[in-house]
Structure 1
Amino acid sequence: MATKATGSHGDDDPNPGGKVSVGDGPLKPNDERVAAVARSLVDAGRFVPALEAGPNGGGLATWWPLPGVGDRNMIAALVLEDSMEGHAAAASALARATDLEVRRRLAAGGHALVPPRPGRRTVPHAWIEALGRPDPALPSGIDPERVAALANRIDEWIATGADRATRVRLAIRVHEPPTGARGNAATAWRLELLAQDSEETSLLISLADLWDDRSVFGPDGITELLGQLGRAVRLAPELAPVLDEAAPTELSVDTAAVLAIAERVEPLAEVGVAVLLPSWWTTRPKLGLRAKAASPPGVVTQSGFGLETLVSFRWEAALGTLKLTKADLKRLEAAAAAKSELVRIRGQWVQVDPDRVAALVAAVGTEGQADATELLRAHLGLSSLDAPDGIEVDGVTATGWLGELLDDALAGTVTPVEHPPGFQGTLRPYQQRGVGWLAFLGRLGLGACLADDMGLGKTAQLIATVLADPVPGPTLVIAPVSVLGNWQREIGRFAPELSVLLHHGGGRHDDSVSFAKRAAAVDVVLTTYSLVARDADHLAEVAWGRLALDEAQQVKNPRTKAAKAVAAIPATRRIALTGTPVENRLAELWSLMNVLNPGLLGTLTSFTKRFAGPIERDGDEETTALLRRITGPFVLRRLKSDRSIIDDLPDKIEQTELCTLTHEQATLYQAVVDELLEAVDELDKRLDRPNRPTKPGRRHQAGGTPGQATDADDAIARRGLVLAGITKLKQICNHPAHFLGDGSALGDRSGKLNRTEELLDEIIDVGDKVLCFTQYTAWGDLLAEHFARRYGIEPLWLHGGVQRKRRDEMLTAFEDLDGPPIFLLSLKAGGTGLNLTAASHVIHLDRWWNPAIEDQATDRAYRIGQRRAVDVHKLVSMGTIEERIDAMINDKRALAKAVVGTGEGWVTELSTEDLRGVISLRDREVG
């Protein structure tokens, strides 16, 4: 954007929020996007004060965006139409948003740019004063000619730093000294001056050709390059000698100058000057210390070494992957004494800091001790091992089992277990590797998370591991109540020799024999998460050989009693089985790792600051990669979509079924929207909450006065009101009778039910079976009765109130070829732990916020044993909040491998205006 856009700053602005009308139709850049770009520019300091001389002699003091080269794509996204009007609209909106953002921050900080001056003001004083006020207008009575003169001078000043859209830009290529140079203050570096095409950056032409008019840029290029040379010298005075030459082409500078220019790469780029450093510059290795450790001697025992094992180490100097010799250290000391800022070591340039070199040399050869957890954290950059201040710890080297662990080579080097003794069945190759991996980590006393995709046979791998890696003491399996029967069947099928104790139900305690004795007499004890905290005392009496958590995401909240009780269970082996180690937040991964390997990820507070915040808030790819490196040795993740893992699983075909609302649904929907927005708006007024976009997570804090306590109560009431309203809207999307609860007939009153019946007609007609998931038990009750009447077949209906015995009967009946073709399941009760491969269709009757939850439910049918393609139908009511949910899920699905969307809480924090945008019904989507 090369021109300033003016606009009204008063209350009567006809285009609030940066919406600009041009020509016959308004062009309206997205307000939130414009505001986000403005915030980004202000955060980066890319804005300047400006003065606009008015046609009638007045003046406006404005804050003007001054984007750099790197901001072009971000700003281009604001342009909705590639025309002069479209660009002008985007420029005007961004100018207004930037001005408002700067003034808002000045007001919030209570900053006064100049002290108040009574009486007559000079034009500069009045200008600066107006920059800090809500009203940008200069006071009346100021000489208009002086205003115009100052405005012209300010425009010229802004132009010197603006990134203008030109074809040519100055590029400075840095050439290192000859190979023989060892690095000292006088070492000469050559700076080559080039002309670079702004669009085709690979096109570089020597300035000698430009001065001789032998380039494609022509005379205009010469003029532009001269201006850029001047701007470059103002930012980097080390380049000043080029101005002494009529036609400069290169420059020789010392090491200090090169370092100074390298530190100003970004500011130079902002004014259109590119600095081309040697390829190694940004990746050059740094001096640091490396801990050289050895695994404790001896053979790994049944109890394993574990991460708490104390290990001795010795410090050695390192330059990246290279160990430095005594000769290298002497050269470093000599360079520091000579005050050289760069020195060549082993053919690589190293920056020299005398204090750090002295501390490094003093530390080399000294010894220390740390447990294996701390060494692993140091290897991954999470611990300094008490190294001298200012000295980086560049990893840990070790031999033996610790070396294998640090090298992240466990999954690739462990020996597969093909035929565990007593295992009745055939393990697939990836399962053999999984069993070997679990057994290997177990023997080291390290916890392991088997995070295979749903349906890849985690249960079979755990049973095989119990046989392949026998330990003193029984194995405790903690699982949801819904899969206890499945565990009993699978153990009886794969390992009939293993004895099993089911610790569940009202009669689980036998007064005649202690639980500890009964548990010690069997190989496997099965219990549920709900009983762990309740029976913690009994479980603590047993010397468990192995603790296994099925559907381990059940301990994702570290503050729950169940999670704390599970973490306290003593066991020499710890294994977690889950297809979704992270469902909503990275804190869930911390909780899981805290059970498996306590201390690995530090405290929850430090983990949130170091990992969860940057990844969830900023999408930081580097931090994400680091977290994967840390947890990688302890998490084995395989996907069904990876044909190298399993090549005989059929396809999964997912599609969104868009359904229109009936007139009755639309009427009810709109009534609830109006009622909800009116109620929320009333609460906002009581809270004195501005009706403007708000950031998720905002809270109204209760203070010490009665009025503040009332505000806190109202804020809680508001959140509850919004959640209740969302539930009503989703119920209406299902069916009016679901919302009204009046027991009325269902036929032909819901677009979603109509589409469901069309799908079921076809599925049943061809003899297939289907799983239908809903998050609402009341809706499932209505559908079960409706489908029974329509199809003359009683569908199966599994929800949280079904007893375990009846649940097992349902599973058996559905898997029978002659069993009912329709299986209705609640998302919570039927979303995990079930094997229902008789179904080749899945229908999600209503949408949940988290793609991982939906995928878990789908994988009841799409798993090992499935021989047919699985069709997944996700029903969405168009124009409603469901469509917004669907868009959110699709946007986050790629990220869901590491971090997935949160629950409905974020909606409760939206302003009334933002809430309206999420829940409002679009009439064109009503049938």
Structure 2
Amino acid sequence: MRVVHGVWVGDALAVWAEADAPSREGRGGTGTGSPRPHPFAAGTAELRTLPGTGAASPLVLGLTLPGDTSGPSPSTAADGEPAAFHPWRVPALRLPPAGAEAFLAAAPPVPAGPSLRHLAAVREFAEQLVTTGCVLPDLVGNPPRARWRPAPVDWAEEHLAALTAALPPSARSHMPGESPDRAARSCVLAPLELLTDAVARRLAARPRRATGPDDGTATPGQRLAAALTGTRNTVDAGTADRLRGPLRDWRSRLRGAGRATLLLVLREPERGGPWTVEFWVRSVSDPGLRLPLEQVWLGEGAAWLPADVGATALADLDRAARHYPRLRRALRDLAPARLMLTTEDAQEFVSSAAPRLTAAGFAVVLPGWSGHRGIGLRVKVEEAGPARRRGGGGVGPSDLVSVSFEALLRGTGADGGDAEPLTGEELAELAELARLKRSLVRVRGRWMEMDPERVSAALDLVTRRGGHRMRTDEALRTALGVAGTAPLPVGDVVADGPLGALLDGGAEAEPRPMGTPAGFRASLRPYQDRGAAWLRFLGELGLGAVLADDMGLGKTVQLLALLADERLRDPAPGPTLLVCPVSLVGNWRREAERFAPDLRVHVHHGPDRPSGNALARLVGGCDLVVTTYGVVTRDAEELSGMPWHRIVCDEAQALKNHGTRQAAAVRSLPASTRVALTGTPVENNLGELWSVMDFANPGLLGSAAAFERAVTGEDGPDTGLVRRMTGPFVLRRLKTDRSIIADLPEKMEMRTWCTLTPEQASLYKAVVDEMAERMAEATEKERRGLVLATMSRLKQICNHPAQFLGDGSALAGRSGKLDRLESILGEAAAEGDKALCFTQYARFGDRLEPYLRSRLGVPVLWLHGGTPRAEREEMTRRFQSMEGPAVFLLSLKAAGTGLNLTAANHVVHLDRWWNPAVENQATDRAFRIGQRRDVQVRKMVCVGTVEERVDEMIERKSALADSAVATGEQWLASLSVEDLREVVRLSPEAVAG
């Protein structure tokens, strides 16, 4: 079985699965007018091999699933175009609540689908309710049956709301067309009620003293208890009549608007007195309303207090005593108001009792210092001797530095601000308290928490004479507070030399300016100069860097400027290996030729790439070698033997899953320093940032598990700690930063280089061969029309095979240009921006609109020549006024003029009109008066195809572009046969592979 699924049907769990091959129960005729058998559903016999299903009864489920008429889409398939939904029949096994609870509690032997994982989360919530006492007995149905039900407590209601919001669509596949409210009741509330009862009965099923048969003398409460813990849950009518009222009142008291709950407040001792836990009550509807229980006993109540607040508080205290037995001492009083504690008792209350009470649903208030360690460290780093200088100064990762420590009394806030050094006497006192395992200590008149074992280890560091000699990279990990490198939080760092500049300023430190290198054919903007100088600065320290500038700020230019600057040195430091997606290989080669023509560049890609000694000689004579992630994965062993000075990963989010073969291959390449280029250093979670950082500086942040433990707090990720640990090595500038925007032009135009898929390349070659055959027999007049028709067909192939074939086939995964378009628009949407996308093909636009909407998850509007004027105006108004990201797909002819779309700050020309005037008119829909943001314009060009050749001609023959091209594409027909062959030939680099 590939995937096991489950849906809640009525009062039972129905389990079904996708098999590895069509099962007998999944075969058969298509039938008419009724759901067909699911071709890949596991049969009943196969389902019974799942643990816990032996006593389950079979049934047939009717499900509505995405797919087409040939079959449902596999749940493991990658997302594609929006799918239609069709009804299917699947064999299933029905598990009643007790069996369902056991099945969901056990890990399935094969992957579980989203619906089954969601039901497992519902079961975990039910168990939490039971184990924390948040359940009540009740009577349901006719004849009456005893059932354990969730109690109406605040934290449980919040958790229930979260589970309802997370309900996956597959959990509702058996009830198509139902409203969300009904689906939530059937798929969340119903299983929660029944699973809560099943968990409670399982936990209550322990050996009990036999009481004999009920001879009629048992009380109604005893009969209810027997029905709640025994195998039979029915209750006789008389017992039910007597218990319904009290049970209803019990539940209503918990749910009542005037309800007040217990609040436990820990107070520090005053003038040598004891610690106290004060008992308060607070309003459930308005937690800001609270009153000491002592005042309640004195009759000093408040209008918001319910009449039975005293009885409720005593009941809550009795229940809390189950989790903190010491409270029973206070319950001996007729009017309990507080509990006295010694320092050792208070220590135990803070460390273990308070978390237990909180988990059980009780409100506990601890002093403000709780959870914040009051003792920290100051780290001093000094160069231990003459450092090994490299290219202008710096220290290497293996150089030795002197590290010393100083104990600090940190501030009371979570950030540990206003730290002060501890005296020798205070250190000696802390050492003795640590020896006695005291975690609550009083220093300089205030109480704080400390970890005795960690403080002991830290004091050993502080009191050791002569400091410590460490490698530079080890000292950096300690100074940055990386998990496991220092026993206490590092609150301050003092360092001299280059390390001081790095640690004091991080990415904002100002290394010596680099300036635009001689021979570099562009003027670096100020922020680009700072970025290139920063890369040089970290490289001289032997450290890796993550250049994470926003899309369009020129990461490519900054790296090329760095390489051009190094080329001027004597001697140059050595070759740089740049690894990028195959679609960007052509872009890097062309940008290097454009900006740094003196760089010796080699593209290492394709089946004829050199190897062995030939590769070694070639690398030795290069400044930059450009290759792909795929080549590195295949040739990692050979590339590891080359003398790389630097490894650069472009689109470094490709390394975010550090366990992949691709990521491992890239990490295996040795180099003096590494650079990661990415516009999205974090896409989903902080583990991705760790993965990129671990490429740039291997081991600097410790293991992935240690990093996750260090940065994950009770309230979510500790982003402040993450910034401190990664800040010196990550440089990110945003277009929204005014200091950066001031450096940007009003309009940035760039080419986006794309590659063809093998399918596109095959079609392209066939069209070129056909044109060559027909040209030999064509007259001059026929040749003109043949050329223009061929150009149009080749442009369609560059867009997508489905556009050229016109067969309505799927779009996903078949076009390098479409993949690149999706990436560009997706990044713009992630930044909350709006984008215009122009195409000259209306039929292709009809296909793109639903595809992009499903892939991007944002509104996609489509305006073409057939759009009525009123609808056109409404689209424009909606695009300009709507909040959040969106894409406006436009036909170039229909929307090239007359529209004001200044809400967009991205413009993408999907297929080139090859007429700059027409393209500029279209771009001016966004770049015009009223535009308050800089506009980025991308013109998509397929490498090594007719698109690139015509683009080069337009650039090279400006006179032709200004005259003949301005009239359209007719000028292509006047080219010579040799020119035409050069224009349409397919280069090897055009194909991804």
The one-letter amino acid of 2:740's match is: I
Q: Distance in 1 between matches of 2:579 and 2:274?
A: 69
The residue aligned with 1:551 is 651
Q: 2:309 aligns with which of 213, 224, 243?
A: 224
More displaced 10-residue stretch of structure 1: 370-379 or 145-154:
145-154
TM-score (norm. length: structure 1)? 0.57
- Please tell me whether the aligned partners of residues 197 and 204 of structure 1 are also in contact (alpha carbons under 8 angstroms): yes
Change beyond 3 A, Cα 1:194–1:580 = closer
Matched, 1:475 2:576: yes
The residue aligned with 1:445 is 542
- Please tell me whether the aligned partners of residues 196 and 204 of structure 1 are also in contact (alpha carbons under 8 angstroms): yes
Q: 2:258 aligns with which of 154, 163, 166?
A: 166
The residue aligned with 2:727 is 632
Residues 71-130 of structure 1: per-residue CA shift (max 9 Å, x gap): 4444568999xxxxx9999999876433432466689x9994447979836978986676
Matches within 5 A, 1:762-801: 762-764=894-896, 771=908
TM-aligned CA deviation for residue 448 of structure 1: 1.0
TM-aligned CA deviation for residue 365 of structure 1: 2.8
Secondary structure in structure 2 of the residue aligned to 1:343:
strand
The one-letter amino acid of 2:386's match is: G
The one-letter amino acid of 2:149's match is: W
Matches within 5 A, 1:517-536: 517-532=617-632
- Please tell me whether the aligned partners of residues 281 and 313 of structure 2 are also in contact (alpha carbons under 8 angstroms): no
Residues 549-575 of structure 1: per-residue CA shift (max 9 Å, x gap): 333345556566664554343432322
Secondary structure in structure 2 of the residue aligned to 1:574:
strand
Secondary structure in structure 2 of the residue aligned to 1:737:
coil
Change beyond 3 A, Cα 1:275–1:748 = closer
Secondary structure in structure 1 of the residue aligned to 2:577:
strand
Q: Distance in 2 between matches of 1:770 and 1:172?
A: 59
More displaced 10-residue stretch of structure 1: 630-639 or 376-385:
376-385
TM-aligned CA deviation for residue 442 of structure 1: 0.5
Matched, 1:487 2:584: no
- Please tell me whether the aligned partners of residues 195 and 204 of structure 1 are also in contact (alpha carbons under 8 angstroms): yes
Secondary structure in structure 2 of the residue aligned to 1:460:
helix
The residue aligned with 1:344 is 442
Matches within 5 A, 1:316-327: 317-320=407-410, 321-327=419-425
Residues 654-699 of structure 1: per-residue CA shift (max 9 Å, x gap): xxxxxxxxxxxxxxxxxxxxxxxxxxxxxxxxxxxxxxxxxxxxxx
Residues 270-315 of structure 1: per-residue CA shift (max 9 Å, x gap): 89865444333343x2456776554443345228644455555456
Percentage of matched positions with identical amino acids: 33
Change beyond 3 A, Cα 1:118–1:463 = same
Q: Distance in 2 between matches of 1:54 and 1:559?
A: 52
- Which structure 1 residue ranges, 5 or more long, are not aligned? 1-6, 19-29, 81-85, 653-729, 775-779, 781-795, 823-927
Matched, 1:576 2:676: yes
Q: Distance in 2 between matches of 1:228 and 1:590?
A: 48
Matched, 1:331 2:429: yes
TM-aligned CA deviation for residue 544 of structure 1: 3.0
The one-letter amino acid of 2:258's match is: T
Secondary structure in structure 1 of the residue aligned to 2:809:
helix
Q: Distance in 2 between matches of 1:740 and 1:445?
A: 45
Q: Distance in 1 between matches of 2:949 and 2:621?
A: 30
TM-aligned CA deviation for residue 345 of structure 1: 0.9
TM-aligned CA deviation for residue 458 of structure 1: 0.9
Q: Distance in 2 between matches of 1:209 and 1:377?
A: 54
Matches within 5 A, 1:141-540: 162=254, 165-166=257-258, 168-169=260-261, 171=263, 173-178=265-270, 181=271, 187-189=273-275, 196-204=282-290, 216-217=302-303, 221=306, 223-225=308-310, 227-229=312-314, 231-232=316-317, 235=321, 254-256=342-344, 258-259=346-347, 262=350, 264-265=353-354, 274-283=363-372, 285-287=373-375, 293-299=381-387, 301-302=389-390, 305-309=395-399, 313-314=403-404, 317-320=407-410, 321-333=419-431, 342-351=440-449, 364-366=462-464, 371-379=471-479, 382-385=482-485, 392=488, 394=490, 397=493, 399-400=495-496, 401-406=498-503, 409-469=506-566, 470=569, 471-503=572-604, 509=610, 514-532=614-632, 539=639
The one-letter amino acid of 1:461's match is: Q
TM-aligned CA deviation for residue 459 of structure 1: 1.3
Q: Distance in 2 between matches of 1:506 and 1:395?
A: 54
Residues 865-889 of structure 1: per-residue CA shift (max 9 Å, x gap): xxxxxxxxxxxxxxxxxxxxxxxxx
Q: Distance in 2 between matches of 1:35 and 1:279?
A: 37
Change beyond 3 A, Cα 1:480–1:237 = closer
Matches within 5 A, 1:26-175: 39-40=124-125, 42-43=127-128, 45-47=131-133, 50-52=136-138, 60-75=145-160, 96-102=190-196, 112-114=205-207, 120=213, 131=228, 137-138=233-234, 162=254, 165-166=257-258, 168-169=260-261, 171=263, 173-175=265-267
Q: Distance in 2 between matches of 1:535 and 1:271?
A: 56
TM-aligned CA deviation for residue 349 of structure 1: 1.1
Q: Distance in 1 between matches of 2:135 and 2:696?
A: 56
Secondary structure in structure 2 of the residue aligned to 1:349:
strand
Q: Distance in 1 between matches of 2:659 and 2:681?
A: 17
TM-score (norm. length: structure 2)? 0.54
Instruction: Give the RMSD, CA atoms, in angstroms.
Output: 5.8
Aligned length: 670
The residue aligned with 2:770 is none
Secondary structure in structure 2 of the residue aligned to 1:476:
strand
Secondary structure in structure 2 of the residue aligned to 1:62:
strand
More displaced 10-residue stretch of structure 1: 415-424 or 88-97:
88-97
- Please tell me whether the aligned partners of residues 51 and 60 of structure 1 are also in contact (alpha carbons under 8 angstroms): no
Secondary structure in structure 2 of the residue aligned to 1:409:
helix
Change beyond 3 A, Cα 1:74–1:33 = farther
- Which structure 2 residue ranges, 5 or more long, are not aligned? 1-9, 14-56, 60-93, 97-114, 166-179, 411-418, 749-800, 813-841, 851-860, 866-889, 913-937, 956-960, 970-993
Residues 226-250 of structure 1: per-residue CA shift (max 9 Å, x gap): 5315523653666678778887777
Q: Distance in 2 between matches of 1:805 and 1:351?
A: 68
Matched, 1:593 2:693: yes
Q: Distance in 1 between matches of 2:381 and 2:703?
A: 25
Q: Distance in 1 between matches of 2:597 and 2:188?
A: 71
Secondary structure in structure 2 of the residue aligned to 1:466:
helix
Secondary structure in structure 1 of the residue aligned to 2:559:
helix
The one-letter amino acid of 2:560's match is: I
The residue aligned with 2:823 is none
The residue aligned with 1:696 is none
Bigger relative contact order, structure 1 or 2, given CA contacts below 8 A and separation 6+? 1
Q: Distance in 1 between matches of 2:547 and 2:697?
A: 14
- Please tell me whether the aligned partners of residues 188 and 255 of structure 1 are also in contact (alpha carbons under 8 angstroms): yes
Change beyond 3 A, Cα 1:238–1:407 = farther
TM-aligned CA deviation for residue 456 of structure 1: 0.7
- Please tell me whether the aligned partners of residues 50 and 61 of structure 1 are also in contact (alpha carbons under 8 angstroms): no
Matches within 5 A, 1:795-810: 804=944, 806=946, 808-809=948-949
Q: Distance in 1 between matches of 2:203 and 2:363?
A: 38
Matched, 1:737 2:834: no
Q: 1:757 aligns with which of 864, 879, 885?
A: 864
- Please tell me whether the aligned partners of residues 329 and 361 of structure 1 are also in contact (alpha carbons under 8 angstroms): yes
TM-aligned CA deviation for residue 460 of structure 1: 1.1
Change beyond 3 A, Cα 1:582–1:177 = closer
Secondary structure in structure 1 of the residue aligned to 2:698:
coil
- Please tell me whether the aligned partners of residues 335 and 352 of structure 1 are also in contact (alpha carbons under 8 angstroms): no
Q: Distance in 2 between matches of 1:538 and 1:750?
A: 44
Q: Distance in 2 between matches of 1:629 and 1:504?
A: 39
TM-aligned CA deviation for residue 521 of structure 1: 3.7
